[in-house]
């Protein structure tokens, strides 16, 4: 969500000034991400860590020894701390200046600060989210690697963020809160963004699979071998269908992208498919390394865990919507949003 907001400042986009605050109001969890790191760090230090490289017997693995300078508990904790500190700083700067603009009248200094700093912030954020995906997700399979892993995970996360913004925009519009700012063109553009990044995710996912399949190297193919057998192949089929085929077919037509209910349906499908994607990434590795099984590992813990963190995410969002305006009404480009046509 912060990336979406910073990206709009980078482009000095006028059309999105009416919906940018919707994304910003979903960033309330950022200051508390350090708390979320605690169970991850404790898990790494335990005897039953989901990260194979943190086990005591990793010292007998030649490949893991070669990666030990990077994959060790201390280095992991330091890197995660750096990521969280940067995300918190970006939150304070970008979101803070956006909120300050609401009360500064004709003085657009807060917005100018975001315009000037958006480019380096977007660049560093891209690097941080890439390395965070290496540490949190790719290192679950420490013998395996992918050079486009960061792009793959970014594509999934970003289209999921756009889906959340789309749902909230349509809900607020249907309840009469944004009608003076939002037009059918905003719906159309949100639909185009979901369509574009669903296709982009599919392109990156297929590129990753095709390169590994064509090279046929055992240290690379093991990732997909574990995810195309023992029941996990059905998750893969669902992923292709729900993360690409359905959004592509639903959002292809121009008129459909202006229908709020259709956009909500497409966004929900994208969010469900993103959850399937994360499950497909994480659980085969956990099952193999911790439970010593290649079969599908999916139970009530996975569902309740999603509900728990999803509930916290929504609680912070509700809190921020009560405290803040749903629109950056004093943004210097807000007039472009209200007059927006294509």
- CB contact at 8 A, 76 and 40: no
pLDDT score recorded for residue 290: 66
User: Residue 318 is encoded by which pair of tokens?
Assistant: 């509700």
**CA 137 to mean position of chain CA atoms:** 13
| DSSP 8-state code for residue 244 | I
User: Residue 258 is encoded by which pair of tokens?
Assistant: 């202006």
Helix, strand, coil percentages (3-state) for the chain, rounded to 5, are 75, 0, 25
User: Phi/psi of residue 26, each to 5°?
Assistant: -100, 15
- CB contact at 8 A, 71 and 139: yes
pLDDT score recorded for residue 295: 66
Supply the pTM of this predicted model.
Answer: 0.91
Residue whose entry in the numeric block shows the structure tokens 């960061």: 150
* Cα–Cα dist 21/10, whole Å: 15
* Cα–Cα dist 319/34, whole Å: 20
User: Residue 129 is encoded by which pair of tokens?
Assistant: 């989210």
- 99-146 pLDDT per residue, tens: 999 888 788 899 999 999 999 999 999 999 999 999 999 999 999 999
Low-confidence ranges of the chain (pLDDT < 70): 288-295, 297-298, 340-342
User: Residue 200 is encoded by which pair of tokens?
Assistant: 């982009």
* Cα–Cα dist 84/2, whole Å: 13
pLDDT score recorded for residue 292: 61
């Amino acid at each position: 969500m912060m990336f979406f907001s910073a990206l709009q400042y980078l482009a000095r986009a006028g059309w999105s000034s009416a919906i940018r605050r919707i994304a910003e109001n979903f960033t309330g969890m950022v200051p508390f991400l350090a708390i979320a790191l605690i169970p991850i760090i404790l898990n790494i230090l335990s005897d039953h860590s989901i990260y194979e490289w943190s086990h005591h017997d990793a010292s007998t693995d030649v490949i893991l020894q070669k990666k030990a300078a990077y994959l060790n508990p201390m280095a992991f904790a330091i890197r995660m701390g750096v990521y969280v500190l940067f995300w918190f700083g970006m939150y304070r700067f970008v979101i803070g200046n956006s909120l300050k603009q609401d009360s500064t009248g004709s003085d657009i200094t807060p917005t100018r600060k975001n315009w000037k700093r958006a480019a380096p912030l977007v660049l560093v954020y891209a690097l941080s989210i890439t390395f965070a995906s290496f540490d949190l997700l790719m290192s679950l399979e420490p013998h395996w690697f992918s050079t486009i892993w960061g792009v793959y995970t970014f594509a999934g996360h970003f289209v999921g963020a756009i889906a959340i913004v789309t749902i909230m925009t349509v809900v607020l519009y249907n309840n009469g809160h944004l009608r003076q700012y939002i037009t059918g063109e905003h719906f159309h553009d949100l639909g185009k963004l979901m369509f574009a990044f669903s296709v982009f995710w599919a392109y990156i996912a297929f590129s990753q699979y095709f390169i590994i399949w064509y090279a046929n190297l055992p240290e690379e193919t093991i990732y997909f071998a574990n995810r195309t057998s023992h029941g996990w192949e059905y998750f893969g089929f669902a992923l292709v269908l729900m993360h690409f085929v359905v959004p592509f077919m639903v959002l292809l037509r121009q008129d459909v992208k202006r229908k709020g209910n259709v956009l909500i349906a497409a966004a929900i499908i994208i969010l469900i498919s993103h959850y399937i994607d994360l499950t497909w990434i994480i659980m085969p590795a956990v099952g193999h390394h911790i439970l010593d099984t290649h079969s599908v590992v999916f139970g009530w813990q996975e569902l309740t865990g999603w509900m728990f963190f999803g509930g916290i995410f929504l609680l912070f969002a509700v809190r921020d919507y009560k405290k803040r305006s749903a629109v950056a009404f004093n943004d210097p480009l807000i007039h472009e949003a209200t007059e927006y046509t294509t």
